[in-house]
Amino acid sequence: MKDERPRLPFDRAVLLLTLLSGGPALLVALVLLWRSDAGAAARWTLSTLMVLVWAGLAFEVQGRVVRPLQTLANVLEALRAGDTTMRARGARPGDALGEVLLEANALGDAMREKTLGALEAGALLRAVMEQIDVAIFTFDDGGSLRLVNPAGERLLGRPVERLLGRRAEALGIDSWLSAPVPCRLEDPFPGSGGPFELRRTTFRQGGLPHHLVVLTDLRRALREEERKAWQRLIRVLSHEINNSLAPIQSIAEGQRKLLDRDPRPADWEDDLRDGLAVIARRSEALGRFMAAYARLARLPPPSPGKVDVRAWVLRVAALEKRLDVRVDEGPAMVVPGDEDQLEQLLINLVRNAADAALSVGGGVRVRWRAAGARVEIAVEDEGPGLPASGNLFVPFFTTKPQGSGIGLILSRQIAEAHGGLLRLENRTDTRGCAALLALPTGEGPPALQDPRPR
């Protein structure tokens, strides 16, 4: 049971104990004084002096005990209020009370350093939030907006004074707190542009859960990637078209000069036919090039189906007649996808491997294995290996004299349309290249990670 008896304050208790400790000695002294032969005036004078000294000493003891504690209380109160500049006097080592004051001053120094660090970090965070072109919002557990940076103000079209404290429903952004993340928002507000990428996480402040929402404007990055894609496409198109137009122009100019000659040579008709044949061949090649581009741009979405991996690999390996493709069989597996598109993908990889192997008299091997919720297929050749080029997946780039330059990019498009990945790398065990394909089996997470069959 709680003791509810009234207790004396600490300073009064110290005074009372001091008075009580000196009381018996004072009482004995007074008794001896009044039994002595001293006169009455002397006895009263000495009695008064002894009582005053007794009381004065008691109050001095109280002050010496209480004043340092009051100083310590003032320092701690200042620290609690955020004032880290106050220090206690009398702090010195080798003294019980001085050690306490030393520790209080050390606590003030440590809190001052942490406060300055927090202020500097807060100033840096505010500067970063003001400068970055990313909209940042924080909401409390009730869905009320607690923090927004200038980019967020611009996105919502309102100043911070009209935003803080308002609920997400009132601002029309409550879906941001429940949408699966990361996700893409095409146009969160009329005229806001887009697309934006939404990310969200949870943190605790004051012991309560809060939500951090970040919206990244993807327009600039997409425009930059689009610009680079157009530059690559125009560079390749210009190269291929100029390769066809330059000989056509040269031959046409030569035929015009031939017709202007007088008299013409005896075999001028044969020269004219040869020139026109070259122009026809180059025009036909240019037409095939444009048809290949149209085919690449119009790749249809895959038709859903089931593809038996073993039958698929064996069927494609048997189509290559220029050499025997070795197949190292893996486990029985089935992948979801478009059988025709996947067959075209593997045909392209095997054909490229055979072209590389035939140039140096090497072989080709195809193998597959299960890796969790995906199948990993490797098409390995013993050819000269990959050239030092970053353009392998650029449309119409080719290192083969008769190549169209769309096989690899078309194969990668098919792989990605099926939720997979395709990459090429030089082999480490021997000379040659390995085309590594990963496709999901539909029994777990997608295969969007680097395929590395072992």
pLDDT in tens, 258-302: 777 777 777 777 777 877 887 787 777 677 666 666 665 566 778
In this structure, are strands 325-328 and 364-371 parallel, antiparallel, or unpaired? parallel
Distance from C-alpha of 248 to C-alpha of 408, rounded to nearest angstrom: 29
Task: Name the band, by pLDDT with cuts 50, 70 and 90, for residue 191.
Answer: low
Residue 164's φ and ψ, nearest 5 degrees, are -65, 135
User: How many whole angstroms separate alpha carbon 337 and alpha carbon 363?
Assistant: 29
pLDDT for residue 40: 80
pLDDT at 310 over 90: yes
Over residues 144-188, the pLDDT tens digits come to 998 888 888 888 878 888 888 889 888 888 888 888 888 888 767
The C-alpha atoms of residue 374 and residue 442 are separated, in whole angstroms, by 8
**Residue 135: beta bridge partners?**
215
In this prediction, residue 43 has a pLDDT band, given cuts at 50, 70 and 90, of confident
pLDDT band at 391 (very low <50, low <70, confident <90, very high): very low
Contact predicate 283/244, CB 8 Å: yes
Tell me how far apart the alpha carbons of residues 359 and 256 are, in angstroms, rounded to a whole number.
42
432: which residues sit within 8 A by CB, 6+ positions away? 356, 357, 362, 380, 381, 382, 383, 384, 385, 426
pLDDT band at 454; cut points 50, 70, 90: very low
CA gap 354, 374 in Å, rounded: 26
Q: Answer yes or no: are the C-beta atoms of 244 and 287 closer than 8 Å.
A: no
∠ at Cα 138 (137, 140), nearest 5°?
150
Does the bond joining 263 to the residue before it have cis omega, within 30 degrees of 0?
A: yes
Determine the Cα–Cα distance for residues 160 and 224; give it in Å rounded to an integer: 31
pLDDT above 90 as % of the chain? 11
Residue 439 to residues 314, 336, 421, 444, Cα–Cα distance (Å): 17, 9, 7, 11
What are 17-27's pLDDT values in tens digits? 877 888 888 78
Instruction: Name every residue whose Cβ is closer than 8 Å to that of residue 119 and which is 6 or more positions away in sequence.
Output: none
Distance CA 225, CA 248 (A): 34
Bridge partners of 183, per DSSP, are 198
255 and 274 in contact (C-beta within 8 Å)?
Answer: no
pLDDT (tens digit per residue) in 354-385: 988 998 889 999 999 998 888 999 999 998 88
Tell whether the model's pLDDT for residue 425 goes beyond 50. Answer: yes
143 burial type by CB count under 10 A (0-12 exposed, 13-18 middle, 19+ buried): middle
Local structure of 94: helix, strand or coil: coil
CA-to-CA separations, 79 to 86, 114, 115, 301, in angstroms, rounded: 8, 12, 11, 67
**pLDDT higher than threshold 60 for residue 444:** no
> Tokens 């198109």 label which residue?
237
Euclidean distance between CA atoms 321 and 297, whole angstroms = 30
pTM of this prediction exceeds 0.75: no
